[in-house]
Amino acid sequence: LKERLSLSEEQLRKVVVAMPPVLGYSFEANIGPKLNFLQEELDLSDGDLRDRVVTSPILLGFSLEKRYRPRLEACRAAGVDGMLVLRRISQ
């Protein structure tokens, strides 16, 4: 996670303190695919992705298949900007 998002020690600490379960998540099976999906589908730069994860570490806790994909598909079907998914995903 630290390398993928180019996190400083302080940023990593903030993510872990806010979202302790992240320590038990598999990077290859869980975190990596979520980060890739968010970055590719929402066209986020590395810096934007990092900033969003540091600001809202809960983003790492949501299911890719049960939360992210369905909401993004619903937004797109309704003609709504996909970035709305990221802003509203934790609500």
Q: Could you tell me where the DSSP H helices lie in the chain?
A: 2-5, 9-18, 32-41, 46-55, 69-77, 83-88
Q: What is the pLDDT of residue 71?
A: 84
Q: What is the pLDDT of residues 36-46, one digit of tens each?
A: 998 998 888 99
**Residue 84 predicted with pLDDT over 90:** no
C-alpha 30/C-alpha 81 separation (Å) is: 25
Mean pLDDT of 26-31: 96
Q: Please give the model's pTM, rounded to 2 decimal places.
A: 0.84
C-alpha dihedral, 11 to 12 to 13 to 14, nearest 10°: 50
